[in-house]
């Protein structure tokens, strides 16, 4: 399957949705990252938002493509008030600097991937009330939509 990447900011539902699928090269990752950051820039200052990452069908062609992709989303989460759950997979993830660029905060994150075993293990080991792991994009989106927007005053970085 040829690489496919897309990102979209849904202002009505406050969801930033991004997908990267198919046989992905490092160049594909760079195009995806560029489109993702363009959509991220569309989120208004001070906005709370949800993030949906859809990697269903993602197959990096080499380790370079995988390495280029795997830090993008944790960086976005950390720059928008959320500690990435995947950091809990490591004994010593190092120091994580959680900030809020432009006072925007991600309050719910859904990660979709086709590897059912991996997603089940991640959900058991590191799933949290604000971060969940799925194999079905529609279920992930529905979960995100159901996550209540935090009350005013609840936007501080933990």
Instruction: Look at residue 156 and tell me whether its pLDDT is greater than 50.
Output: no
pLDDT, position 157: 44
SS (H, E, C) the chain: CECEEEEEEECCCCEEEEEEEEEECHHHHHHHHHHHHHHHHCCCCCCEEEEEEEECCEEECCHHHHHHHHCHHHHHHHCECCCCHHHHHCCCCCCCCCCEHHHCEEEEEEEEECCHHHHHHHHHHHCECCEEEECCHHHHHHHHHHCCCCCCCCCCCC
pLDDT 10s digits, 79-135: 999 999 988 887 766 788 999 999 999 999 999 999 999 999 999 999 999 999 999
pLDDT, position 153: 59
Is the pTM here over 0.75, yes or no? yes
Q: Which domains does the chain have, with CATH numbers?
A: 4-146 (3.30.750)
pLDDT 10s digits, 36-90: 999 999 999 999 999 999 999 999 999 999 999 999 999 999 999 999 998 888 7
């Amino acid at each position: 399957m040829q690489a496919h990447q897309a990102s979209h900011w849904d202002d009505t539902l406050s969801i930033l949705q991004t997908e990267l699928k198919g046989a992905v090269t490092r160049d594909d990752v760079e195009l995806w990252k560029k489109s993702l950051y363009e959509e991220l820039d569309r989120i208004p200052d001070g906005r709370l938002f949800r993030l949906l990452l859809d990697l269903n069908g993602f197959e990096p062609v080499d380790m370079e493509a995988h390495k280029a992709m795997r830090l993008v989303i944790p960086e976005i989460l950390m720059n928008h008030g959320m500690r990435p759950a995947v950091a809990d997979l490591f004994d010593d993830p190092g120091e994580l600097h959680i900030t809020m660029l432009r006072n925007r905060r991600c309050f719910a994150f859904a990660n979709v991937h086709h590897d059912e075993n991996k997603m089940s293990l991640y959900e058991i080991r590191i799933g949290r009330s604000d971060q969940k792991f799925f194999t079905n994009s529609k279920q992930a989106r529905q979960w995100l939509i159901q996550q209540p927007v935090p009350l005013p005053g609840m936007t501080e970085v933990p």
